[in-house]
Amino acid sequence: MSFWEYDLRAENLHIGERIKKGTFRPLVPAINVGGAEYRPIPYSTAAGALREFLGLSWDTPVHAAGYLTQDNLESLVIAPRDNVTGVSKLPITIQYLSQAQGKLFVLVNDNTQGLPDHLEMVMGGLRYKGFGLCDLTRVGTQPCEPEPTKAKGKLLTRIPEDVLPMFGIDAKGVERDGPHRWGYLFKPTSATGGVYVKSLFEESEVKAYSFIIGDKT
Amino acid sequence: MAGELIPELHDIGKLINNNAINADIPGLGLAHHYFTGQDQTEIIDWSRWGMATPQTLTWLGIIGHNERLIGKGTQVSTPPSKLTQIGLPMGRDEMAQLLLLVMADHLAASTFRVVQQIGENEESSHGVNRSVTILWRSSREEPEAPLPIVDRRGLEDLLRWLAASPDAAAFFQKFQPWLSTVPEEKIVPRAVTSLATHCMLVGKFFKVLLDSFMLNTKKTHLVYCGESFVNYRDIEDKCLFRLARCKVTFPQRPSRTSDLGIFLKLQEIMRDVEKDDHVLLHTLDTLWVFLPVEDVLPLRTALKNFLDVGFHIEAQVAEAPLQELSSNIFEKPKEKVSNYYLQPEMPREFPPKLCELCQMRQALPEPVRDEKSGIEESLCETCKAFRELAKGRFTKLGGQWEEMDIPVAWVRVSLDYNRLHETLRRLYKGYLERCRELKKIEIPNQEIQVLVDNLRNTALMVDFTEDYGKLLNSFYARLKAELGEANIEEIAGERPELLVVALIKEGQALRIADIFIEEFSRLFPECEKDSPISLSISISNAKYPFFEHWQYLDKPADTISIQVVGRARLRLPITRFRRLRELKPEKASSKLHRAVAVGARTGSDLMEKLEFLDGLQRYQELHRARIQEGFSVGQLLSYHKIAAIGGQP
């Protein structure tokens, strides 16, 4: 199993949570691990964006996840219009990130082995406002092979339960109660629909490939 | 034998002034709180003195939890003859309870409080304190605590009262004034825990042990986790128990006022768990629990009340034999401590929609509509229930304050138990050094450090938490009196750890901090420089999303942390904040703004200082605050911005 490692840069990026109170859309929160700040790029966001970039269908296996290491938190107010009536709804305050930098790791398989060393793809929300254009530069010419001995530390991203092994996480190891944070990510089950699947969230203490964990022991 | 064993009463003999009683009843020779003579094994025959002995199991506990009668090797099947001879019917069931009481007393007295005994004759070498020394107020000389039972009549009344099988509540109610001032142990190095806390802890430990152990069918052994034990030496050495410190969190990002029902629920559960014998101490969002191992009582079951309504729990769980289990186990090598993040049971998948508030559950099919704004939200049953709970509450915050658009201050008081551990070590060291200066102990520096390193502080933490509760109440009472009850909204029900105050006048935000400091200094004068308790204030208009405040309030940057969202941040220890208030630096906003701007533009502290000094002769206090007292330009600017907040825009 090997991964492409990409350096990610984006002028404006929105990786958000559900809208609150109908008027406020926050970002995925940042976490502090070992004194450094990280913000997860969830598997669902990264894999979805890559599939779209590669022109693949919803069920094509693409596995990717990452995190941001630098960003500026900003917000803007928009007043979207109702598509039917054309009337503006209540203004929504949206948080976004400017000057974001981070890492994205893509599992090398038949669908991703030909990924270029430099690519531009669109990721996250608010695309119609011009957000989400990400500049990805590959680190190295060869895919990185995770070391066989996994490291223990804090997960820096969000990964669905059923693909944990792809990132070196033993699904059985997170079955029992432990310092594991669970939540839900969206998983497409058709071109237009999907389900929410149980997923391991950032700050969970796991044994995994070292590139997706921080505060390693 | 009448009644059940009420463990809280086991040390009631410590409320008797033996000297006064012996003077009133010549020849009695009462010497110990076990109601024995000098040698600690001769139980006084009260019938000889015209008094009836209570025929209750509690009385057996009072006289029987005596280490000279019940030793580490004493077996369930062989009750000590000194106890059987006094005519109390004593079967193996009673003996088993007595052993559990002795263990609970050990746990509360030796394992969960300050340091082990040093040497055989501590009393002669260390002296005694007849009043409990409260470490966080220890600079004040406490007068000798009076004892309530001082003559024959008082003793007769006590024995009659005990014969009527009083319960623990009656005991605490009757003796509270004395219980909080009498030390559990009067020898100087250990005279820092109140008898009230000790009795409460023994009660809790006993009931947990009673639930965890059972007698075998022949009633010769106590059984725990399928293993049999005959005496308490083996139990203390071999039986694993757990101490868990838990922080309760929630996945919601509350935005609407009505979503603050989360805190009402949290406070309600915390109030209920207080009665749970497993819970040793708690604040609004933290609790410490004493538990048997997972096989006997799973952690999830113990914390079910929280998980059932959707709270998450971060728990550090230490597991060790009873005699090694103490709060400082968390500071020892990590092998004995496991970390857990407990969440309610979660399905593997579900179809849309996802609850917008918690993002942890499927939303109800029908969206929830807000009548006022007409906005519809997809919420799960749990989040909807929190909203229902808040119906009719928070009417000021969600009503007139929003409409008037006045600034509000979210006020959070919190207690950090990690810092408390270090604070207690520092305070204890200071206490020992003071006792040495006063010739109450003769002890070299090296030994003081050993005592500090071995400090076992759970009982102290319980006492500290109780005083923290008093601080919350007095702070809240002062706020109501000075700022008006109509201008305050309680968010966490009966626990004033989270409040919202409408700032109707300029300067009120700083006044809130002043009031906090005044009350804090009354109860915790020794913690001013290094406080595990903090006050955080976050100011904005009433509509600003609560969760943004919470992120600031939940991780206090210093003892006093104040922010005006998007405009100013000030964080200072108590002593520095008080000094800044005393200085009353003149308002010179444009000068301060300019200096900050020059500093930011040039990245030079010197340039910032030069800009600041230019024409400063008109602002003497401002000059002193910056140059002599070392407050930064940024701090002074934030101070004035915070001071200027208040009233309608």
ipTM of the complex: 0.92
For A129-141, how does the pLDDT look when each residue is reduced to its tens digit (9 = 90+)?
A: 889 999 999 998 8
Is the model's pLDDT at B533 over the cut of 90? Answer: yes
Q: What is the pLDDT of residue B67?
A: 87
Give the closest of A17, A181, A204 to B359, CB-based. A17
Give the closest of A22, A178, A197 to B349, CB-based. A197
Instruction: Number of A to B CB contacts under 8 A, please give it.
Output: 81
CB contact under 8 A, B360 and A183: yes
- The residue of chain A nearest to residue B252, with distances taken between CA atoms, is A20
Q: Cα angle at B209 between B182 and B110, to 5 degrees?
A: 40
Relative to beta strand A92-107, strand A24-25 is parallel
CB contact under 8 A, A178 and B351: no
The percentage of chain B sitting over the pLDDT mark of 70, rounded to a whole number, equals 95
Buried b (16+ CB within 10 A) or exposed e, B516-530: bbebbeebbebbbee
CB contact under 8 A, B346 and A24: no
For B467-517, how does the pLDDT look when each residue is reduced to its tens digit (9 = 90+)?
A: 999 999 999 999 999 999 999 999 988 789 999 999 999 999 999 999 999
Distance, CA of A162 to CA of B400 (rounded, Å): 50
| Greater model confidence, A186 or A23 | A186
Give the closest of B343, B352, B373 to A196, CB-based. B352
CB contact under 8 A, B347 and A198: yes
Cβ contacts of B340 on chain A, cutoff 8 Å: 177-179
Rounded to the nearest angstrom, the minimum Cα separation between B367 and chain A is 12
Q: State the DSSP string of A65-134.
A: EEEEEEEEEEEEEE-PBPTTT--B---EEEEEEEEEEEEEEEE-STTTTT--SEEEEE-SS-GGGT--EE
Give the closest of A26, A161, A196 to B350, CB-based. A196
Please tell me chain A's helix, strand, coil percentages from 3-state DSSP, rounded to the nearest 5. 15, 45, 40
CB contact under 8 A, B377 and A21: yes
Is the model's pLDDT at B2 over the cut of 80? Answer: no
Rounded to the nearest angstrom, the minimum Cα separation between A186 and chain B is 9
- The residue of chain A nearest to residue B356, with distances taken between CA atoms, is A18
Question: What are the residues whose beta carbons fall under 8 Å from the beta carbon of B141, sequence distance 6 or more?
Answer: none
- Chain B interface, Cβ < 8 Å to A: 251, 253, 255-256, 299-300, 312, 314, 338-343, 346-352, 354-357, 359-360, 362, 370, 373, 375-377, 545, 547
CB contact under 8 A, A197 and B348: yes
For B414-467, how does the pLDDT look when each residue is reduced to its tens digit (9 = 90+)?
A: 999 989 999 999 999 998 898 888 877 788 888 888 888 888 888 899 999 999
CB contact under 8 A, A182 and B346: yes
Interface test with A, best of B317, B348, B377 (most A CBs within 10 A): B348
For A36-92, how does the pLDDT look when each residue is reduced to its tens digit (9 = 90+)?
A: 999 999 999 999 999 999 999 999 999 999 999 999 999 898 887 777 777 666 788
Interface test with B, best of A15, A17, A19, A20 (most B CBs within 10 A): A20
Task: Please tell me the pTM assigned to this model.
Answer: 0.90
Which own/partner contact pairs does A116-120 have at CB distance under 8 Å and 24+ positions apart?
A: A117/A141, A119/A53
